[in-house]
Each structure stands twice: as structure tokens, then as C-alpha cells.
Amino acid sequence: METLTVELGTRSYPIYIGQNLFSGAELLQQHIRGKQVMIVSNTTVAPLYLEQIMNMLAQYQSASVVLPDGEKYKNLDTLNQIYTALLENNFDRSCTLIALGGGVVGDMTGFAAASYQRGVDFIQIPTTLLSQVDSSVGGKTGVNHALGKNMIGAFHQPNAVLINTDTLDTLPDRELSAGLAEIIKYGALGDEPFFEWLESHMSQLLQRDVSKLVYAIKHSCEDKAKIVAADERESGQRALLNLGHTFGHAIETAMGYGNWLHGEAVGAGMILAAELSEKMGWIDKKDVTRLQNLTKLAGLPVNYPPEMTAEQFIELMMRDKKALQGKIRLVLLKSIGNAIVSADYDESALLNTLNEHHQPSTGH
């Protein structure tokens, strides 16, 4: 088992990465302070792992709530099911919530923990590659609104993150590819040696080679933990983690949450960011091609949905959390491994990028 720490002073917490992490209860129990535990899962993950986790918590007053599965349910109505379960079971502010599932479950459980009785403990047990390398680490929690993704939420750090790589055995191929988008992102934004490693080992990751997956997960979590420790609430450096995301969130919102997976939208969004960066003269065509090739190799789309227009993109991106004073801030590239956050780009170049890119999608 590998152990990392997200360094946040008194709120620092460990990330455990390895196989067979559900075989013993001690690892989980040491991060539970009270006697009440609520496990939040979904209809896909609960049949696979909920009983195992409940057995690990036999000595606690434990209960569970199973939510419908999918990004389209990441909203205030579904969130209310968690509050109802907590209240019906008379859970007090010493309780701990456990998120057992992918990014949607993790984000909603974290937000419920941030807001139930003004803040209770929670633990992340991410079961998808995307949630293991991204959403479970860093304390961003929240839900979507029909008008924008992740617009309602809070920063609330977990007590611990347990990444059991065995859960990837039951992950569909499409979800595995979606997770690889976030892994590629870490290389592209600030870690060119890791990007090169991914170019050499992508086929092994797709074949679910355990040692290569553990390396990629650990490396991604290390990169994210460093950035979160330096800028917990995204006042500066942490915004780099949004490479591809402003474009990607627009795709997810336009297409209806869940029709494009988050990682698929981020994959196409990173290509748009790279192409705009090339138009600005910041990166070479060969860098754009490298990113396109690696994204395709991971089984991800490199074109945005043909149904979307450039004007629709601009309108949705103006609503993004990173927009400030009427200007869309984007994460753009100076090279592979060197990203910047900038509102200082040519708006006509952005429109040209979106219009030129508008061709039939390669599928997802």
C-alpha cells in the first residue's frame, strides 16, 4: 500500500492507494471519530461493495443511503435524500459520512457533510479511476444546477481517502477512459516527464495493468496534493487543475449531464485549449498533435459535439465559476507541462478555434 499526505496543517489527511483495502477494518476505523456512520453510495456501486463496507463498520451505528447513478442526479433534489437519511436516523454532529462511489457520489456526500449541522466529518472511498485521481482529493464538493455545473458547493476536506484499486476491475471501459483524461491533464499542465511516461504506457493502463495503474494514480494524486496544499481555495495556482474544464463543463451542460462523461468532455476541452494556445503562438503544432494523439489513444473524443455552436460555448463559458468581470478565464498551454491561467487571449482566436473545430465528433 502507498500512502500520501495532503498537507493542510491541522486538516492534513492521508490518501491510501493499494489492493485489498476492504479486507480489514482498521484502516477505515482509525479515521472515524464518533459512533454514527452514514454510507452514501449509488445503485451501481452499492450491490458490489456496500455489504463489505457495512461489515467493516459492524461496531458502529451505521446506515446507508443509495442514490440513483449518474451525473444527471447530481442536484439539490438528490442531495436532499442524504439529509433525510441523516435526520431519520437521528445522526448528530459527531457522525461521519462515507462516500462510496465515483465523483458524483463523492461531491454530493462531501457537500452534505459540509452543510449537515454546519459541518461533519467524511471519508472518501472513490471507486472510479476519475474520482481516484481527481475529485476525491482536494475538498471540492457540490452539485450541479440546470444552468451550470458545480455552481453550488463548498470546500470541505475529507478525513481520509481510501483508493482500493480492486474496484477498477468492475469499471466499464468507457469510465476507465474518462478517468485517463484527468491523468493526462496532470502531465499536460505541469509534468512533462509524466506526460512522456503516459505516451509509453497508455496501452498498459487500458489493459488495467495493476502496477502501472497504481503508479499513474499515485503520481496524479501527488501532483494534485502539492497544488491543493499550496492553494486550497483556488485563489491562484489551483486553477491550473481546470485545464480543459471550462470548455468541458460547457459541453456537459449543453449536452445534458451524463450524456458526455466528465472525462470525455475534459478530453475534448484540453484539445480546444491546446488549439487556442497554438493560435496565440504560445505552443507548437507538434505539442497539439502530441496531446491529440495521447487523448485518442486513451479512447477519448478530440472533437466537441457537432450539435454545439461557438456562440453556445461562449454563453455557457461566461457562466463558469472561473469567469471574472465578464471575461472568460482559461487554462492555456505554453508547452506540454507548462500551463497558465489567462484572460489575456484574443477573443477572435477563441471564436476561430471553436468554429474550425466544429466537425463531426469522433464518438465517445
pLDDT in tens, 287-307: 999 999 999 999 999 999 999
Would residue 275 show up in a list of annotated catalytic residues for this protein? no
| CA 171/CA 251 separation, integer angstroms | 23
Give catalytic status of residue 2 as yes or no. no
Domain architecture of the chain: domains with CATH: 2-170 (3.40.50.1970), 173-356 (1.20.1090.10)
Catalytic residue among 42, 164, 242, 357: 242
Q: Decide if pLDDT at 313 tops 50.
A: yes
pTM, full prediction: 0.94
∠ CA(125), CA(104), CA(163), 5° rounding?
20
Percent of the chain with pLDDT over 70: 98
226 labelled catalytic: no
Q: Which of 218, 219, 224, 322 is catalytic?
A: 224
Catalytic residue status for 357: no
**The one catalytic residue among 245, 290, 321, 322:** 245
Which string of b and e fits 336-356 if b means at least 16 CB within 10 Å? bbbbebeeebeeebbeebbee
- Angle among Cα 138, 142, 146 to the nearest 5 degrees reads 140
Nearest partner of 18 among 226, 208, 171, 218, judged by Cα: 218
Of 234, 264, 275, 278, which is the active-site residue? 234
- Rounded distance between C-alpha atoms, residue 37 and residue 47, angstroms: 19
Using the predicted structure, report yes or no on whether residue 323 has a pLDDT greater than 80.
no
- Is residue 182 part of the annotated active site? The answer reads yes
Mean of the per-residue pLDDT values for the chain? Answer: 94
- Tell me if residue 185 is catalytic: no
Counting every residue, how long is the chain?
364
CB 121 within 8 A of CB 96: yes
Identify the band that residue 320 occupies on the pLDDT scale cut at 50, 70 and 90.
confident
Verify whether residue 234 is a known catalytic residue: yes
Average pLDDT over residues 257-274: 96
Active site residue: 71, 175, 182, 222, which one? Answer: 182
120 pLDDT band (50/70/90 cuts)? Answer: very high
Query: Annotated catalytic residue: which of 218, 238, 322, 329?
Result: 238
Q: Measured in whole angstroms, how far is the alpha carbon of residue 70 from the centre of its chain?
A: 14
Residue from 31, 212, 218, 262 carrying the catalytic annotation: 262
Nearest alpha carbon to residue 4 among 242, 188, 238, 226: 226
The answer to whether residue 262 is catalytic is yes
Measure the N-to-C terminal CA separation of the chain; round to a whole number of Å. 33
Note the pLDDT of residue 358.
Answer: 62
